[in-house]
Amino acid sequence: MDLVSCIRNVPDFPKKGIGFKDITTLVGNGPALQQSIRLLKQKYNDQKIDAVIGIESRGFIFAAVLAHEWGIGMIPVRKPGKLPYKKISETYELEYGTDTLEMHEDAVSAGQKVLIVDDLLATGGTAKATAHLVERLGAKVAGFGFVVELDFLRGRDNLSTYRVESLVHYDSE
Amino acid sequence: MDLVSCIRNVPDFPKKGIGFKDITTLVGNGPALQQSIRLLKQKYNDQKIDAVIGIESRGFIFAAVLAHEWGIGMIPVRKPGKLPYKKISETYELEYGTDTLEMHEDAVSAGQKVLIVDDLLATGGTAKATAHLVERLGAKVAGFGFVVELDFLRGRDNLSTYRVESLVHYDSE
């Protein structure tokens, strides 16, 4: 199954000139969802992963299934105010302004090895902030797993000290 | 494994007097996540389900794993402005004010049978609005699957025409 054909391109979302890669059509297709999970699993089957981090909120979808497949826990990284317990936060730069992500302070333990999962790698700001959260708690980032990578935004350069695996690549909008 | 012991009670979140049932500790525990999925699957294994709807955003976690286990698609129902393609929306009453949910208009087809999944059943407003979205597209609600049900809020009364299954029940805050 060709995963690219399962991703819908939505022009001008969320703003004019941006071609949004809509993965709801992939997730809504049973065989495509299974294939994307099979491929992400294969990429990291050589590692002993202790937990899978999912970045709010489409990242939850793939992170949860991967964690379940491996029989390990899934840990949400969320926008401010969503997590109920004690947490740490990381603020990062956007093109205009900043954004913040939070993680429960007891979500990972020192020495654990975690995989960070999101649906899409764009500029890598969110991904890098998530890695910092993990590392501040003393855990190790085994790598990143993305379904889609927008190569032309060069997010991979932002994550150059990490292993980055993506299933589908786009060279341009 | 006792699922209740895996759920953290966080007092006074999101506001004073509310005891928040934090399922991140359950999801972060590999065996507990697997058991909750096994139990939800068992509840609906007698039905032929065509798709699993996950309600933003903790619902995505359980809906995605269930869909993957059954080899069918997972469909997100989201807060306004998040879904990129053509959608329908449903507005429902809160204690103070209203809230709105959206679903892609091509996410389910007429005649399909879907399971609606969320982490928690409180008053049932969100769940009922989601059922209406499904029905407006001509699909049928096979039932609801929740991990936690707050019995004292009587959300089940709000969903009396549907099958409702929950794994963990709380009689009081």
pLDDT score of A123:
95
Q: Are A126 and A72 in contact (CB under 8 A)?
A: no
Q: Are A31 and B71 in contact (CB under 8 A)?
A: yes
Which CATH number describes the domain made up of A45-170?
3.40.50.2020
pLDDT score of B66:
98
Answer whether the bond into residue B57 is a cis peptide, omega within 30°. Answer: yes
Regarding pTM above 0.90, the answer is yes
Q: Which two tokens stand for residue A95?
A: 């093109």
Domain residue extents for chain B: 45-170
pLDDT score of A60:
98
β-partners of residue B120 are: B148
pLDDT score of B73:
98
pLDDT score of A173:
76
Q: What is the pLDDT of residues A115-147, one digit of tens each?
A: 999 999 999 999 999 999 999 999 999 999 999
Q: How far is it, in rounded angstroms, from Cα B85 to Cα A55? A: 22
Residue in A10, A57, A73 closest to B30 by CB: A73
Residue with tokens 């990143």: A144
A58 a catalytic residue: yes
DSSP sequence for chain A: --GGGGSEEEET-SSTT-EEEETHHHHTSHHHHHHHHHHHHHHHTTS---EEEEETTHHHHHHHHHHHHHT-EEEEEBSTT---S-EEEEEEE-SSSEEEEEEETTSS-TT-EEEEEEEEESSSHHHHHHHHHHHHTT-EEEEEEEEEEEGGGTHHHHTTTS-EEEEEEES--
Residue in B27, B30, B54 closest to A71 by CB: B30
Q: How far is CA A20 from CA A23, A30, A150, A173, B73, in A?
A: 9, 22, 11, 8, 20
Residues 6+ apart with CB under 8 A from A150: A21, A120, A121, A122, A170
Burial state string for B93-126 with b = 16 or more CB within 10 A and e = fewer than 16: eeeeeeeebbbbeebbeeebbbbbbbbbbbbbbb
Instruction: Tell whether the model's pLDDT for residue B163 goes beyond 80.
Output: yes
Q: What is the pLDDT of residues A56-84, one digit of tens each?
A: 999 999 999 999 999 999 999 999 999 99
pLDDT score of A95:
80
Q: What is the pLDDT of residues B53-107, one digit of tens each?
A: 999 999 999 999 999 999 999 999 999 999 999 999 999 998 889 999 999 999 9
Q: What is the pLDDT of residues A6-48, one digit of tens each?
A: 999 999 999 999 999 999 999 999 999 999 999 999 999 999 9
Instruction: Tell whether the model's pLDDT for residue A98 goes beyond 80.
Output: yes
Q: Do B28 and A60 touch (CB under 8 A)?
A: no
A105 a catalytic residue: no
Instruction: Tell whether the model's pLDDT for residue B169 goes beyond 90.
Output: yes
pLDDT score of A111:
97
Q: How large a percentage of chain B has pLDDT more than 90?
A: 95
Q: How far is it, in rounded angstroms, from Cα B125 to Cα B92? A: 7
Which amino acid appears at position A171 of this protein?
D
pLDDT score of A139:
98
Q: How far is it, in rounded angstroms, from Cα B97 to Cα B2? A: 37
Residue in B22, B37, B70 closest to A85 by CB: B22
pLDDT class of B172 with cuts at 50, 70, 90 = confident
Flag whether residue B3 sits within 8 Å of chain A, measured between CB atoms. no
Q: Return the DSSP state at B70.
A: H
Residue with tokens 């980032």: A141
Flag whether residue A139 sits within 8 Å of chain B, measured between CB atoms. no
Q: What is the pLDDT of residues B105-119, one digit of tens each?
A: 999 999 999 999 999
pLDDT score of A101:
98
Tell me which residue of A129, A153, A172, A170 sits closest to A162, measured CA to CA.
A129
pLDDT score of A97:
92
Q: How far is it, in rounded angstroms, from Cα B166 to Cα B173? A: 17
Instruction: Tell whether the model's pLDDT for residue B45 goes beyond 90.
Output: yes
Window B:16-35, CB contacts with A under 8 Å: 20, 22, 24, 27-31, 33-34
Measure in Å the smallest separation between the Cα of A24 and chain B Cα atoms.
Answer: 7
Residues 6+ apart with CB under 8 A from B123: B153, B154, B155, B158
pLDDT score of B95:
80
Q: In terms of CA atoms, which chain A residue is nearest residue B63?
A: A61
Residue A17, Cβ neighbours under 10 Å: how many?
7
Q: In terms of CA atoms, which chain A residue is nearest residue B62?
A: A64
Q: What is the ipTM of this complex?
A: 0.98
Q: How far is it, in rounded angstroms, from Cα B51 to Cα B49? A: 6
Q: What is the pLDDT of residues A157-169, one digit of tens each?
A: 999 999 999 999 9
User: Around B103, how many Cα atoms within 13 Å sit in the side-chain half-sphere?
Assistant: 28
